[in-house]
Chain A
Amino acid sequence: MPGKILCVVGESGSGKSMCAHALMGLLPDTIIREAGEIAYDGRNLLTLDDTGWLALRGRHIAMVFQEPMTALNPLMRVGDQIAEMFEAHNLLTPRQRKQKALQLLREVGLPEPERSARAYPHQLSGGQRQRAMIAMALALEPTVLVADEPTTALDVTTQAQILELIRDLQRRRNMAVMFITHDFGVVSDIADRVVVLQHGKVVEQGAADDVLRRPQHAYTRALLAAVPSMQPPPRAPLADRAKAVEVIGLDKTYVSGGGWFQPERRVRAANEVNFDILQGETVGLVGESGSGKSSVARLVMRLIEPDQGTVRLGDTDFTRVAGRALRKERSRIQMIFQDPFASLNPRRKVGNIIADGPIAHGTDPAVARQRAAELLGLVGLNASAMERYPHEFSGGQRQRIGIARALALEPEIIVADEAVSALDVSVQAQVLNLLEDLKTRLGLSMLFITHDLRVAAQICDRIAVMQRGAIVELKPTAALFSAPEHPYTSELLAAVPGQISSSRAA
């Protein structure tokens, strides 16, 4: 529909990207269309031949992809890649193409368009690259813009800017936008109409307000219910407990370059970082990419060595132990990783993955395997999973395996580094519940790293906000959300999508 934004929502595997690619005729040859048609301007696009598609793509229907890192050719200047749009359709002279490219870069709000045009993609930030992608898509004034998760890979503040840009351009040019996303926050910010997909079928569609506030289908309702609320649930104070982890004055600067003659490049990943975690407490570290939260997690785990500062686990100075003692102490603090696909060795059976740690620490293999089977039960998987390989499991199941592996060493502290960021909302909610439940049952303390403030609101007792390697604010969760002090915290909170309608729905 011209002048409207249609959001296509669904979880991974629901077929939403497939719709977008079909609309562009970009599906691989291995996929065969069984039935149906795509009507554009009174024509059925599926009857087009290759030449027909070439004329249509870019000119009438243009697309913006998810990953601004990989969607641009790394060896071509940004300006040239935009100018290529005109070249593909034999429009304008090379000079005019350059002019238009500059004009487009200005329109999407890139700073210093001349410089951006000459830059290679790696010289721009993620948000700038996505702006360049949008400029490219808009070059030939298409009537339809297909945006496939265009903000998923971006930080919240950048995401808010890009959403604003898309909405603004859509109004000015009266385009139809098909916006694909898994994030209901984004939907409520941007959509005029919504289509909900499940297993490749449309289960619900309608005006955004209707779908978000009066969902008819059970699946839509389940999806909406799984979106974590910005309202932190009330939490009992933990004041008089002993400290499980104490981080004092942690400093880490990465030095790169610096060969024989080269000057060094320095990035301050941790700058005077101080915090502690009480027994049974969950402390969140939030911040945008590059803020240093993962570095702090690695420092606390002592996977990297700090330049300065101390990490105490209970009474032990974890930064001073070495050798055999260090290996022994390591069992007290364990990590759950972000990527459930990359963090499990694909060549080892799940049972071995879980039992390896205890066996390395001297547990009898038979006992360790027995315990691994119990742990699988604890995280909600069947003990038969022991004999299977990681690729046989879904993302959520793998993350459960990752949790079982972390628990196998009976740690006191769990460091969860973006542990639910790669999961769909419904699975995310389940894994969060599992973590909360295990924490209470086993009396664990947790350092929870996330970029997602909604997730942080649900699970953390206190939250530390990081910016450029330093903690700018550290407060109990409810206080942080209701009365942020630091301007950066307010900025982060304001950028979280979908706040108005979720509070309306709540």
Chain B
Amino acid sequence: MLSFIAQRLAKAVVVLLAIVVFNFMLIRMAPGDPAMVMAGEAGASDQIFVTQLREKFGLDQPLPVQLYRYVKGIVTLDLGFSFRQQMPVAKLIADRLPATLLLTVTAFVISLLLGVLFGTLAARFAGTWADTAITILALIFYATPLFWVALMAILLFSVAMDWLPSFGYETVGANYTGFAHVLDVGAHLILPATTMGLFFMATYARMTRASMLEVKRHDFVKTARAKGLRDAVIQRRHVLRNALLPVVTLAGLQAGTLVGGAVLTETVFAWPGIGRLMYEALLQRDYNLLLGVFVVCSAMVLAFNLITDLIYRAVDPRIEFAS
């Protein structure tokens, strides 16, 4: 198994480098010149100043040289320097990453647990009103745009009822410490995490339901019944375990995109995470920062793919490690 992980990591590094090169070229091809933007903001857009800026940041070099320098930096985990924020990119990302991970992991866990729970219930009571209700709700959450759900949630729970804070990571200026701080962050977390999780929950619920109904028809379920096993045991041990395999695949694919996919939620709820950092970097033509965020997001996707593969191999004995 260790050799399998080593192989997969080696492949991941190659893929990651390819992504870096591709992103690098893509950004340079887009119109706009960061030196011009910076000079313009400094109020001195004369030619000499712009040239100075270019030289200072290495933008006067030919593209391959710029690329070479960038890739060399990445290998030593140096993601470059953000000229706009006057800070190393790695530090900017490191500051924002925990907030994003907190949000997305919470959303992910909520969606997975509730999705599987509701899907199981719907399959268990297929054809009854409970199944219909769950299916319709799942369809609504699945179909409604995320930002709209977010805005409505803010209107309902923050504006109308005043139960929960509407934006941010913590109460500004409150300076809570210890447990009070945890509670404060938790209260801020509920709305964005739930909003983000609803869509995923709907997909998991639908998939779990469909998958369980399909597994139920298999012969081994009949075998289990012929043994005289109780229905609850059959559902849990034989049906659900088999039905979760496709859900694991789907969850793994989605988990990888969670980090980069939180842009919308973070923007609406003013959550200080990677998503907003990326949004700002895009508006400001902050090449290095944008690239850095891309690299981190890609690395996350690759990491989650590997984790999914490992989990899949753990739950499905039919997939064996080639050794």
Contacts and interface: CB of A to CB of B under 8 A. Distances in A.
Interface stretch (A32-40, A258-266, A352-360, A429-437): A258-266
A120 B317 contact: yes
A303 B233 CA distance: 46
A70 B220 contact: yes
B323 to A, nearest CB: 8
B219 A70 contact: yes
B241 interface: yes
A339 interface: no
A72 B233 CA distance: 16
A24 B3 CA distance: 49
Contact of A54 (B228, B242, B316): B228
B229 interface: yes
Contacts of A70: 218-220
Interface string B160-171: 000000000000
Given A65-B219, A70-B219, A263-B322, A75 B228 contact: no
Contact of A62 (B11, B220, B226, B237): B226
Interface stretch (A84-92, A326-334, A393-401, A471-479): A84-92
B226 A260 contact: no
Nearest to B11: A260
B229 A24 contact: no
Interface in B217-251: 218-220, 222-230, 233, 237-238, 241-242
Most buried by A among B226, B230, B318, B322: B226
A54 B219 contact: no
B322 A56 contact: no
A136 B230 CA distance: 17
Interface in B137-160: none
Given A65-B222, A120-B317, A75 B242 contact: yes
Nearest to B322: A262
Contacts of A280: none
Nearest to A262: B322
Contact of B227 (A136, A261, A262): A136
B228 A122 contact: no
A405 interface: no
Contact of B220 (A55, A59, A71, A262): A71
B322 A54 contact: no
Contact of B318 (A63, A74, A88): A74
Contact of A260 (B7, B220, B223, B242): B7
A448 to B, nearest CB: 31
A133 interface: yes
Interface in B183-219: 218-219
A58 interface: yes
Contacts of B233: 88
B228 A58 contact: yes
B315 interface: yes
Nearest to B318: A122
Contacts of A89: 228
Contacts of B315: 75
B213 to A, nearest CB: 13
B226 A120 contact: no
Given A122-B318, A261-B7, A73 B225 contact: no
A233 B255 CA distance: 66
Nearest to A265: B322
A260 B3 CA distance: 13
Interface residues of B, number: 26
A74 B226 contact: no
B225 A26 contact: yes
B90 to A, nearest CB: 30
Contact of A58 (B3, B11, B227, B322): B227
Contacts of B225: 24, 26, 57
Contacts of A257: 322
B95 to A, nearest CB: 37
A120 B202 CA distance: 33
Contacts of A155: none
Given A73-B238, A74-B220, A85-B227, A120 B318 contact: yes
Nearest to A259: B322
A410 interface: no
A24 B230 contact: no
A67 interface: yes
A88 B220 contact: no
Contacts of A67: 219
A52 to B, nearest CB: 11
A53 B227 CA distance: 10
Contacts of B220: 70-74
A133 B230 contact: no
A57 B231 CA distance: 13
Contacts of B322: 257, 259, 262-263
A71 B222 contact: yes
Contacts of B229: 54, 84, 87-88
A315 B1 CA distance: 54
Contacts of A85: 227
Contact of A56 (B10, B228, B241, B316): B228
Interface string B277-299: 00000000000000000000000
Given A73-B224, A75-B317, 9 more contacts: A54-B228, A59-B228, A65-B222, A72-B220, A73-B242, A87-B229, A88-B227, A88-B229, A133-B223
20 contacts: A24-B225, A24-B226, A26-B226, A56-B228, A57-B225, A57-B228, A58-B228, A71-B220, A73-B241, A73-B242, A74-B220, A74-B318, A75-B317, A88-B227, A88-B228, A88-B230, A120-B318, A260-B7, A261-B10, A263-B322
